[in-house]
Amino acid sequence: MKKLIFATLAFLAITLFSTNGLYAQENQEKINQKELQKKQLIEKKKQIKELDSISEKAQTTSEDELKQLIEEQKRVQAEFDEQFEHSSRSFSRSNGRSGGFRYNHTPKRMFVSTSMQFPGGSGNNTTFSISKNFDDELTFSNDFEYEVPENVTGLYFTFSSELENGSLKITITKPNGKVFQVFSVAPVANVDWNKQLEVKDGESKDYAGTWKITISTKEAKGYYELRINSY
């Protein structure tokens, strides 16, 4: 009888120790995850601040300087992506997992739709920027227009989006009615895209004029940002 009681107590002690150890491990993983989120949030804020500074400079630059600033924006974005990927891999290794850690921070953005003239250069530098943060699920559809001047020599497009729920579709249509680009976003993956287009002599008729941007969402929760620069 004593042996049975002793064995039972030993079994309970081992079980309790194992449970506490597992709980402590899971709790430490949660702490590590929160620390990583804080670090990435700080890095993201720094990146947004630097990109905003570059955008402000673009409003008072010439055409050549604008191209340099566009390249600077691409460099800052690439550096942040590399830092994020490295910190995610480090977190996975420290927790003995093969998968990566998904960054769920959604920047708080206000709705913006602008087209502004940049002084300097040939005077045809303009930017169209539109973004939206969905705190709650939203369903809507709308068209926007962006005017590209006849003396355009190039276009630069950037698009990014992340959804927690629902779906988002953006269609960019050229002035001649042909579809230039379609984005379909779902929660399964984030989207980051950019494209630089040089307009050669004689091709301006294909790009100058009114571009149409059609945006539609279905029960979407997350954010998107689209920017078009013409120069």
Which residues, including other chains, have CB under 8 Å from residue 196's CB and lie 6 or more apart? 70, 154, 155, 156, 157
**Which helix (H) or strand (E) covers residue 195, if one does?**
strand 191-198
pLDDT at residue 24 is higher than 90:
no
CA dihedral of 56, 81, 170, 208, whole degrees rounded to 10: 50
Nearest-CA neighbor of 95 among 29, 34, 30? 29
Residue 6 scores a pLDDT above 80: no
Region 27-34: what's the mean pLDDT?
68
Specify whether the CB–CB gap between 196 and 70 falls below 8 A: yes
What pLDDT score was predicted for residue 125?
A: 78
For residue range 163-209, what is the model confidence (pLDDT) as tens digits? 999 999 999 999 999 999 999 999 988 899 999 999 988 888 889 99
pLDDT digits (tens, 9 = 90+) for 106-148: 333 333 333 433 333 345 678 889 998 988 888 989 999 999 9
Local structure of 102: helix, strand or coil: coil
The predicted pLDDT at position 156 comes to 93
Which stretch of DSSP H or E encloses residue 82? Answer: helix 63-94
pLDDT given at position 203: 86
Residue 134: the pLDDT is 85
Sequence spans of domains, the chain? 2-94, 112-230
Whole-angstrom distance, CA of residue 96 vs CA of residue 107: 30
State which of 15-19, 103-107, 136-140, 213-217 shows the largest mean pLDDT: 213-217
Residue 224's CB: how many other CB atoms inside 10 A?
23
Taking the CA atoms of residue 144, residue 147, residue 152 and residue 157 in that order, the dihedral angle to the nearest 10 degrees is -20
d(CA 73, CA 50): 9
First to last CA, the chain: 90
Please provide the CATH number assigned to the domain covering 112-230. 2.60.120
**Spatial contact of 131 and 215, defined as CB atoms under 8 Å apart:** no
- Reading the block at residue 21, the tokens are 């150890």
Contact 207, 194 (CB under 8 A): no
Q: Is 48 exposed, middle or buried (0-12, 13-18, 19+ CB in 10 A)?
A: middle
Strand partners for 214: 143, 171
Q: What is the pLDDT of residues 57-90, one digit of tens each?
A: 555 555 566 566 666 666 666 666 565 555 545 5
pLDDT at 111: 36
C-alpha to C-alpha distance for 140 and 137, rounded to whole angstroms: 10
- In whole angstroms, what separates CA 141 from the centre of its chain? 21
